[in-house]
């Protein structure tokens, strides 16, 4: 019989050494099924893996979508009995994502992506966690590859992996669901009554990868295994083209210490543009349950 989802995820965690004993892992949870399942599996196996697990939720303040997401992650954290940190963007930016993007004259999905990557590194780092786990799945990787091919950002594709090791400036990034398809995750979440919300981000239809991802549903249906083979072979290709792996070593942003190719990171630049104080991070307070 084919291996179940949990077994395959644990196989990746152990086989690729995604975590080590003593690691402090923050799972970035959106309220959606993917990160909920990643959190559920990591929390369930925390003791045998010798790791500590906490959840981090970024509250973008996108009206109903965010309040729904927030309630769901609180439910999840309580069910798993793990601490939850909620970072409210309004506290640092004075407003929610929609308005931040508007003021910057940028697409909301672009700003959201930049900020999510930023906080998913800087918050764990500042709170003493050395690993961040996300719910990225196989469908995400397909969308990511094709989108970057279209945009000519080959060097990003070279970085696609279930784990990016920690560096001086970044925590280790792990994707326990890297080889799992979205439909399998939904099924698993439903079978195990893992709390998640189906409320979609109102900006989702503008996300560049959305339609690319869905178009693969047809291909996968006709030729099961296509997604996995596609991602595997693109990773092989990226390794073969050695040059693309020679990425520049990033420097530390002079305001906040996050990695950047210049002197000031993209997020601090946004803050300067909006008249906010660069480098000032409002750290979330912990919620604990017993």
Is 162 an interacting residue with respect to ligand AMP (CB under 6 A)? no
Toward ligand AMP, which CB reaches closer, 18 or 28? Answer: 28
Q: Does 270 bind Zn ion (CB under 5 A)?
A: no
Q: Does 9 bind ligand AMP (CB under 6 A)?
A: no
| 226-265 residues near Zn ion, rule: CB under 5 A | 253, 255-256, 258, 265
Please identify, among the stretches 53-61, 89-97, 178-186, 221-229, the one whose residues bind ligand AMP according to the rule CB under 6 A: 53-61
Contact between 57 and ligand AMP by CB under 6 A: the answer reads: yes
Smallest separation (angstroms) from ligand AMP to the CB of 157: 16
Binding partner selected for residue 256 from ligand AMP, Zn ion, none, CB under the kind-specific 5 to 8 Å limit: Zn ion
Q: Concatenated DSSP letters for the chain?
A: -PPPHHHHHHHHHHHTT---TT-EEEEE--SSHHHHHHHHHHHHTHHHHT-EEEEEEEE---HHHHHHHHHHHHHHHHHHT--EEEEEHHHHHSS-HHHHHHHHTS-HHHHHHHHHHHHHHHHHHHTT--EEE----HHHHHHHHHHHHHHT-HHHHTT-SSEE---SSS-EEE-TTTT--HHHHHHHHHHTT-----PPPTTGGG-TTHHHHHHHHHHHHHSTTHHHHHHHHHHHHHHHSHHHH-PPPPEEPTTT--EESSSS-HHHHHHHHTTPPTT---PPPEE---
Using CB under 5 A, count the residues that bind Zn ion: 6
Contact residues toward Zn ion (CB under 5 A) are 253, 255-256, 258, 265, 268
Contact residues toward ligand AMP (CB under 6 A) are 28-30, 34-35, 56-58, 60, 116, 134-136, 140
């Amino acid at each position: 019989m084919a291996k179940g989802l949990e077994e395959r995820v644990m196989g990746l965690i152990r086989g690729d050494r995604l975590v080590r004993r003593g690691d402090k892992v923050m799972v970035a949870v959106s309220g959606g099924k993917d990160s909920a399942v990643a959190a559920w599996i990591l929390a369930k196996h925390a003791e045998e893996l010798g790791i500590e697990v906490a959840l981090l939720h970024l509250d973008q303040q996108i009206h109903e979508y965010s309040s729904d997401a927030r309630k769901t992650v609180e439910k999840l954290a309580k069910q798993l009995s793990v601490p939850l940190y909620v970072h409210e963007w309004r506290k640092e930016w004075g407003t929610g994502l929609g308005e931040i993007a508007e003021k910057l004259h940028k697409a909301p999905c672009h700003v959201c992506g930049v900020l999510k990557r930023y906080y998913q590194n800087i918050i764990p780092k500042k709170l003493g966690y050395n690993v961040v786990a996300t719910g990225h799945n196989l469908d995400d990787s397909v969308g990511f590859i094709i989108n970057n091919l279209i945009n000519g950002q080959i060097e990003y594709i070279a970085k696609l992996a279930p784990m990016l090791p920690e560096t001086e400036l970044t925590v280790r990034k792990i994707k326990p669901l890297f080889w799992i398809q979205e439909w399998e995750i939904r099924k698993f979440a439903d079978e195990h009554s893992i709390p998640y919300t189906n409320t979609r981000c109102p900006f989702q239809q503008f996300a560049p990868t959305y339609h690319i991802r869905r178009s693969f549903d047809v291909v996968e249906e006709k030729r099961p295994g296509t997604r996995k083979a596609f991602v595997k072979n693109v990773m092989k290709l990226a390794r073969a083209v050695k040059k693309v792996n020679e990425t520049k070593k990033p420097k530390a942003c002079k305001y906040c210490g996050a990695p950047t190719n210049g002197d000031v990171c993209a997020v601090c630049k946004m803050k300067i543009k909006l008249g906010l104080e660069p480098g000032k991070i409002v750290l979330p307070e912990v919620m604990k349950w017993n």
